[in-house]
């Protein structure tokens, strides 16, 4: 297949490029070229998606890794020539609710915790719904894995190892969910190669509280973490500099994607593997 990837130069993207190339596909990457990449087997097109794409080739599949506004999605589907489109969405597109787990049929809309990110990503999906094209949207939860540019695993491991207290928002009982980067890649590859239409939550099987997460990561390191709490943490404001996960329970059903044969690594097993293969040298 001839595949165009928009963005995807930092975290999930490199894993996706490797997998699709290994599976025999011809890959073109369109991005701003701000991060060096050494892929001798792919075609690079440097450009800014907020300007015109100016790409004449036709692709079997376009994978859009970095649309954050509806107008960006609109421009991509209008200017590019393709048979199938994959939108890298997010579970943060869902409308605020206290009913969990969320399913792919749950309403999209405003969730104050996620601010403009929520609004923009929901706009992208609405544009696709009205477009009439064949497409799939993936909606990942918090993504973990080596080379994570979002300060999540590093944030917690480094403080545990340095003996710095971890201040959990609220009482530490908010329930959250994760997926590993390579699992997201497996899902994208499956949808790409089979051109499967629909929206799909991307989330592992395990749901865990903030406190339990930190305690388990401490066990992996072999150091008991120092845990404190911030009872006044606002559920509708997210301060990543204090702790990388919000004081808000948020989890989804993964039954739909599992019906397609996808299986997920247990959270603790995945954390252990990534720690010993990558994060063990974190200071």
Please report the pLDDT score of residue 149 as a whole number: 87
Overall pTM surpassing 0.85 (yes/no):
yes
Structural tokens at position 227: 């845990």
Asked if CATH classification 3.40.50.720 holds for the domain at 2-281, the reply, yes or no, is: yes
Please report the pLDDT score of residue 33 as a whole number: 79
Residue in 252, 253, 229 with CA at minimum distance from that of residue 242: 229
Domain boundaries, the chain: 2-281
Please report the pLDDT score of residue 35 as a whole number: 57
Question: Distance between CA 84 and CA 134 in Å, rounded?
Answer: 5
Please report the pLDDT score of residue 233 as a whole number: 80
Question: Distance between CA 66 and CA 159 in Å, rounded?
Answer: 30
Upper half-sphere CA count for residue 219 (Cβ side, 13 Å):
10
Beta carbons of 134 and 85 less than 8 angstroms apart: yes
- pLDDT tens string, the chain, 283 residues long: the values are 999 999 988 899 999 999 999 999 999 999 987 655 667 789 999 999 999 999 999 999 999 999 999 999 999 999 999 999 999 999 999 999 999 999 999 999 999 989 999 999 999 999 999 999 999 999 999 999 998 989 999 999 999 999 999 999 999 999 999 999 999 999 999 999 999 999 999 999 999 999 999 999 999 999 999 999 998 887 666 677 789 999 999 999 999 999 999 999 999 999 999 999 999 987 6
Question: Distance between CA 161 and CA 166 in Å, rounded?
Answer: 11
Upper half-sphere CA count for residue 218 (Cβ side, 13 Å):
18
Q: Would you give the distance in Å from CA 259 to the centre of its chain?
A: 20
**Strand boundaries in the chain, DSSP class E:** 2-6, 26-31, 43-46, 58-64, 81-88, 135-140, 142-144, 166-169, 175-180, 198-202, 207-209, 227-230
Beta carbons of 203 and 254 less than 8 angstroms apart: yes
């Amino acid at each position: 297949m001839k595949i165009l990837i928009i963005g995807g130069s930092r975290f999930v993207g490199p894993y996706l490029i490797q997998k699709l190339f290994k599976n025999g596909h011809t890959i073109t990457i369109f991005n701003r070229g701000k991060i060096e990449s050494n892929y001798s087997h792919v075609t690079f097109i440097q450009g800014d998606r907020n300007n015109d794409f100016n790409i004449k080739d036709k692709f079997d599949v376009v994978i859009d890794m970095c649309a954050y506004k509806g107008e960006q999605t609109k421009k991509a589907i209008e200017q590019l020539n393709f048979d199938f489109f994959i939108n890298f969405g997010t579970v943060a597109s869902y409308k605020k609710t206290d009913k969990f787990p969320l399913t792919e049929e749950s309403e999209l809309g405003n969730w104050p915790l996620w601010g403009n990110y929520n609004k923009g990503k929901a706009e992208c999906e609405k544009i696709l719904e009205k477009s009439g094209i064949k497409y799939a949207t993936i909606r990942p939860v918090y993504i973990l894995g080596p080379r994570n540019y979002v300060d999540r695993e590093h944030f917690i491991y480094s403080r545990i190892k340095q003996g710095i207290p971890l201040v959990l928002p609220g009482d530490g009982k908010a329930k959250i969910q994760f997926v590993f980067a390579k699992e997201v890649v497996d899902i994208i590859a499956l949808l790409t190669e089979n051109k499967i239409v629909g929206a799909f939550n991307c989330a592992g099987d395990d749901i865990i509280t903030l406190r339990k997460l930190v305690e388990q990561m401490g066990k992996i390191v072999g150091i008991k973490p120092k845990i404190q709490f911030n009872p006044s943490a606002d559920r509708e404001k997210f301060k990543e500099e204090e702790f990388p996960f919000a004081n808000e329970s948020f989890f989804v059903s993964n039954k739909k994607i599992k019906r397609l044969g996808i299986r997920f690594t247990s959270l603790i097993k995945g954390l252990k593997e990534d720690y010993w293969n990558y994060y063990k040298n974190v200071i």
